[in-house]
Structure 1
Amino acid sequence: MFYINLILQSFISSVIVVNGWEDHYRISRQLTTQDSRLYGWLAVQWVMLAMPIAMYMIVIFSGFKSTERQYLTYIRKPIEEFTSRNNKSLFKLISLLTGISLLAVCYTFYTIGFIPQLKLFSLSGLLSAELREDVGRGFEGSFIFRNIFALTLTPILSYIWFAYSFYYKKRRMKLVFYIMLIASLLIVSYNLAKSPIVFYLIGLLFLNVYIKGGVKISKIVYLFLFLFCILIFSYYLTFDSFDILHLLSINSGIGGRVLLGQSMGIYFSMDVFPKHHEFLGMNSVSQFVSNIIGNDYSPRSARILMEHVNPKGVANGTAGLMNSLYIGEAWANWGIFGVFIAPFIVGFYIQTIFMFFITSKKHPIYLGLFAYLSFRLPVVGGVNDFIYNPIHVILFIIFFSYLFMTSKSRLRN
């Protein structure tokens, strides 16, 4: 999160943009004021300062001087189980959820009518962008069933099965893990997005560290070379013309996407709100929240920005959202107050989760959730997801209510 989301995708970008060095096809040509560059840079600098302060405050409130000792103790511990009776109950739950998640993956592709990844070999770049929007925003099945049981639970369960297979060293558990691995790779890239595959595999790297206490540098190098090859191959399939120099430049291809494309929503948020669109307040957090407070629901700022910056792409179905570091959505929601308070909200949220896991039992279920949240916290997504995230709520209800019931049963016995 620190090196990719904050440093690479936000801080470096802010320095490039505030100095006008980017020569980016959207930032350079469509920002209407120079103030947007300055305000975006200031907002990122505030995140770099305030977010670590918020995280450190949680550590102090928890009674620790730092988390380093607790983290090192955690990764050196062996995997732990509960009592044999509760283990059987938990194992049945995981097996049931695995069956449901595999069913949800099959349901997702059945509803789409084909496997989108196979279409890449026969489509041009423009058509692949249209296909991505069709299978994503144009999905005609149950969004809840797809988002919770296929997109979210499948990767988590694959991590849990990896931990179980490492602990028990049984072939059938390894087989289930491999099945879930294939299902996870298929479902996280079902809408032809490239980065989810990368982050899913990095999640496996994290899981190895949490289980074994560390990994060899050579394995990290091989993994990143493999991931780089995946990205190159993906861009080769989705671009009509392929130029390796163009692909690696800082204002186009992979370089432009990582350094500038993932952060331009910050600057366009400063440019569009409130000059062209009034601040959203709580109206975009969720339909549920809007109904409670009695306001009309509004699309999130990432969608509004894309409609403003690329209306033709939105109209023809080739453009969806302009996501960026959460500070952009914080500004779009509440202006300067949102920029001020957002790093504290996000810092408290992330550090509380981290502190919970490194001070808890090193159980396969906890390991799976920990590995998943290590790369799926929506730092580059939006502040709304740290205020009300229904998927996180449902996940915690499913797993932790069951763990609570089994712990109460163990105490009674």
Structure 2
Amino acid sequence: MRHFLPILALLGPGLLGGCASAPTPGVSRDLLAARASAGPGGSIDLIRRQGERFSGLPFLDGNRVELLVDGPATFGALTEAIHGARTRIDMESYEFDEEAGGRFADMLLAARARGVEVNLVYDAWGAAETSKALFNRLRTGGVRVVEFNPLGPNDRVPVALNKRDHRKLLLVDGRLAITGGVNISRVYQNAPRPEGADPEDQAWRDTDVRIEGPVVAQFARYFMETWRQQNGPPIADHPPTPRTPVGNMTVQAIDGAPDNDQPLIYRTLLSAIELADRSIHLTTGFFVPTPDLARALAAAARRGVDVQIVVPGQSDSSAAIAAGRAKYGDLLEAGVRIHERQGRVLHAKTAVVDGAWSAVGSSNLDWRSTVWNNEIDAIILGPEFGGRMETLFRHDVAASREITLEAWRARGLGERLREVGASLVETFL
């Protein structure tokens, strides 16, 4: 779906809702000064303070977090959660396709039949190839369904085509949240496919988290904001989530919204990069960095931080890969290590900084996630979860091809021309 947007971008800013510009990071000077004097592990406290300052929301203790390392694990957790729902299910997904979406529709209808309230938000563009009959079947069965930014009467193109709901979120009974990069799409079934098959027919590598505990209330708040902004039928706010600890994890929910000139996820990540003192390990399904992000990564590498990024070696958007490769030079020269994942279509969106600040969510390292999309991430603090993230990162690095500065400089003319062409529309990729 995503690879058609650059073509439409050429039709002009009137269609696309205006030109994109990246916000400035705005890390406070006192925290930057404190970075130099912070002892081992002190960066995490600085990043936490900055994150709470940006969002106005606290990090909450007492949560349980399970790392879901691929599509089958996530689909299993989603299925179990839906089957176990007693009172309410809220679901939000960019894609909701005919095959996987059809199976989840059956689960949601079964939950509704046993008396569970069910609310669904899907993106009009992400699910454009899904039949209206599937969503009508859900509505007929009592599920409240909201289409995010509809394409308009008779499927006409809307004025703000680029403002999409890229979130993937499930809330159950106000006690459990599952979020990350996994869409309700058949590509996450990870059935074996032949080498060289179309990316949409290959196995995809993604990451989600299953969260229980007090922080679920923050995720519920963001769901309700989207529901109301999209004029969904009236539904009640979630009851207050009990503060009784169910685990030992400290977590914060953060969002990025298309109507926000200073998207929280982007600012939070930039502050984590600027305050890091040991390591920055990023995994992303789309890498087309803004100038501020590229500068922050290069600056961190130059001050001795181990900066490594795992990006796709193949994708459903060849233009996004080309635009990202155009940025490799300055990063490699600064000492950033770049790895292109092989054997899977990489779609995960994760970060781990100094081994103890971790992010898992829907936001990529690109313009679209920065200035256009509705996104949501979970931020998890602590070395225990950070260690799991580092293990997953090392697994992806081992399955990747590292791009050296020498190899990048030796690339052919055809690749260079593709990079130039993709860079012309990089804000829309």
Q: TM-score, normalised by structure 2?
A: 0.27
Larger Rg: 1
Bigger relative contact order (CA 8 A; separation at least 6): 1
Greater fraction of residues in strand: 2
Greater fraction of residues in helix: 1
Q: TM-score, normalised by structure 1?
A: 0.28
